[in-house]
């Protein structure tokens, strides 16, 4: 049996920000052909997936999957662009028969969080893994 450190979500953001997979505007040129743009986009996506796989803690992944699968209620929270990611993930879960709820309004997040039980799960989406809007 492999011993792993407990999952600490505060350590994910710094590791992700160090990754160079983001396609920048300077890499896209106005005179790029359509084929070149598609290749750049695909390479960036593939690189992001490979980098994610290289830092993925499989024990933390298994634990998260078990919590999500066994939850009575699954709430996804997201601000701004992260709300769209939360909706997309919710849609993917729904396609495999797992019902979730998505909230992008802070008041609704607080209200729904007040109703959560120990068997419920919240997944918060943020591009930097930490949001300045987070409340303690």
Predicted TM-score of the model (pTM): 0.69
Distance (Å, rounded) from C-alpha 73 to C-alpha 55? 28
CA distance 29 to 33: 9
**Of 44, 61, 50, 51, nearest to 16 (Cα)?**
51
- Tell me if 26 is assigned to some domain: no
Portion of the chain with pLDDT greater than 90, in percent: 60
For residue 7, tell me if it sits in a domain.
no
The tokens for 98 are 């797992």
| Residue 53 placed within a domain | no
Tell me if 110 is assigned to some domain.
yes
Count up the domains in the chain and report the number: 1
- Categorize the per-residue pLDDT at 7 as very low, low, confident or very high, splitting at 50, 70 and 90: low
Residue 85 is assigned to a structural domain of this protein = yes
Take residue 26 and report the two structure tokens written for it: 């300077």
Q: What is the mean pLDDT of the chain?
A: 83
pLDDT tens digits, one per residue of 47-87: 999 999 999 999 999 999 999 999 999 999 999 999 999 99
Asked if 122 contacts 108 with a C-beta cutoff of 8 angstroms, the reply is: no
**Whole-number Cα distances in Å, 48 to 38, 44, 76, 80:** 15, 6, 23, 22
What average pLDDT score do residues 80-102 get?
Answer: 96
81 within domain boundaries: yes
Which domain, by its residues, includes 92? 72-125
Which of the residue ranges 13-17, 27-31, 52-56 has the most confident prediction, judged by mean pLDDT?
Answer: 52-56
Residue 43 in any domain: the answer is no
pLDDT tens track for 32-45: 899 998 888 899 99
């Amino acid at each position: 049996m492999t011993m792993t450190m407990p999952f600490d979500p505060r350590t994910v953001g710094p590791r992700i920000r160090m990754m160079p997979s983001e396609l920048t505007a300077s890499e896209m040129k106005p005179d790029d052909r359509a084929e070149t743009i598609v290749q750049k986009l695909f390479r960036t996506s593939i690189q992001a997936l490979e980098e994610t796989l290289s830092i993925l803690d499989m024990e933390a992944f298994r634990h998260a999957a078990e919590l999500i699968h066994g939850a009575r209620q699954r709430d996804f929270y997201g601000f701004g662009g992260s709300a769209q990611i939360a909706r997309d993930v919710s849609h993917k879960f729904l396609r495999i028969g797992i019902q979730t709820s998505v909230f992008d309004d802070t008041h609704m997040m607080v209200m729904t969080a007040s109703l959560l039980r120990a068997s419920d799960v919240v997944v918060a989406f943020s591009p930097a893994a930490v949001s300045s809007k987070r409340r303690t």
